[in-house]
Structure 1
């Protein structure tokens, strides 16, 4: 293992057993050599519909066009006092931070904020569960993204034992009403679930584990999470089923190819808002193989 990783105090892990293509495989994330069975399925894992990544030249061209539209959108928000809030959820290494970065890259940072909260303090644990998130909601003219949100209680907390079954059940019951209030108050509200295949996640974890530049992204929680893929899947499906609604639908983005995923998210936001000067030709059409709505799209 790279010596640069020692300071992060992540203990060596035991090789884990996985089933890939119907065959039981062993994966040792501490081995710097990535197994061929993972390499062969990085893009196609989980039934991803495209056989090749979007070419860099095409991606760069479309990205610039969409970022220009996002600048127009921000001007419209300032002129009208409208508010946008977008939540980004997904398994670890799904590409949430990268998508958020590209969305905000050329927007005015004073009015385009990202929220990535640490674990709650003692005071926050004693408050109404949603309270610490509300403090970061957008005001007039703002575009706010959340890199994880109150939906921690929908997946991470119940899987890792950080909340009780009663707290989890109450969250699933209360959240649709909570989000109805957000939308009714006039906020343009988006919920994105970035979905990746298992081999895709293993490859991204392996990259982090052995990169001197990205090793800080890999944590003991990731090690535990690798073993709980099926538990996360069950909680994800239950969460989406119970909190997908007409007023606050879940937008599912298949994200094995980060480039396509980022463009899909931007297009969905831009096509959903009536901002001045919207150029639909520049935005382009959605890729229905990559983006959809609700649990049916995942299945």
Structure 2
């Protein structure tokens, strides 16, 4: 990727955003992409509003410095705790206020109600996402008749970031949080994986949920929403470079990031280390 490109920036606290990038790449392969995982400071879930906002704002500025006119926060915690302030307070003050930052919560809630028959949806998320109440608030706007039950899963992201999510030890914590959620409401028939890391736990999750419950991951939803956004904003679409180039960066060890990213994406990649 050369210095004259204008890639789409995709940000996550770690590896989880790669599950979103993978789906975006399928639908929009022609664009250039720049991915950043803040692995050195993951997980974001337990951190305060102020800290997540500070970290995310640093990342967004880094993307802008790399020439990205459009940045997607492929992280529910960052979307819940930082997106609104960045959109309303920071962007208008920047040298180029036409740049845009998008999140994953709104596009998810716009369609989530379509999956439930009982009108009872469970949301599995980080502690930060659950505490923000972003999903109940947004669901009330689009699906006021749907009840939302939330469950924080604070150990799932650390398991994934440490590559322990496929081991037998992960089963205990998967079942623990699922049991706590269904103890709130047995009629839940739809489960949202409200963290982009969680699709990496799908094999474990399917072992511990009833067969009739629908699991909803965000990757395809967010990818389709991005397609729609670019269709509705031709002025932004025209600014994006189209070379099919991909660049992957991490704030932690590039070798460790590359190994995990290659498993998720199913192909070889190169990764670089950066400092925010």
**Superposition TM-score, scaled by structure 1 size:** 0.27
Q: With the length of structure 2 as denominator, give the TM-score of the two structures.
A: 0.29
**Structure with the greater alpha carbon radius of gyration:** 1
